[in-house]
Amino acid sequence: MAEHALEHALEMYPAAEITVLHVVGEPSGMMGKATSLALADDIEEAAEEHASEIFDRAREIAGDREVSTDVAWGNPSKVIVNRAESFDAVVIGSHGGSLADRLFVGDVAQQVFRHSPAPVTVVR
């Protein structure tokens, strides 16, 4: 989770309903179909556990403010852009939290910024 993005959203939109969206990327095609299918349940369980940790941290950051949470599966930039249709604004971190995020996911923030139907704020 981009903690700075959440902190910024809470500060800039004090009366807004905030949704923390965690998008789980699709497994790499390099694993092969059989391996992907065999690991699907393990991946889903690990992703849900990780999302739970992210949402707990988001609630901690939000303090007294209520935040909604949602998990989605798919290409992160496409999912966020599609969800942005139902939001007044998108606040997103500038990059993923790990080197793997930056190498394999690509620049999600840039894609969201370019294609979102809602205004986008990118937080470093």
- Is the model more confident about 70 or about 35? 70
CA distance 10 to 1: 14
Between the two ends of the chain, the Cα-to-Cα distance in Å is 12
Q: What is the pLDDT, as a whole number, of residue 7?
A: 98
Q: What is the pLDDT, as a whole number, of residue 115?
A: 97
Q: Which CATH fold topology does 3-123 show? A: Rossmann fold (3.40.50)
Say yes or no to pLDDT of 22 above 50.
yes
Any idea which of 28-32, 38-42, 81-85, 109-113 has the lowest mean pLDDT? 28-32
pTM of structure: 0.81
Say yes or no to pLDDT of 66 above 50.
yes
Spell out the domain ranges in the chain.
3-123
Average pLDDT for 48-71: 96
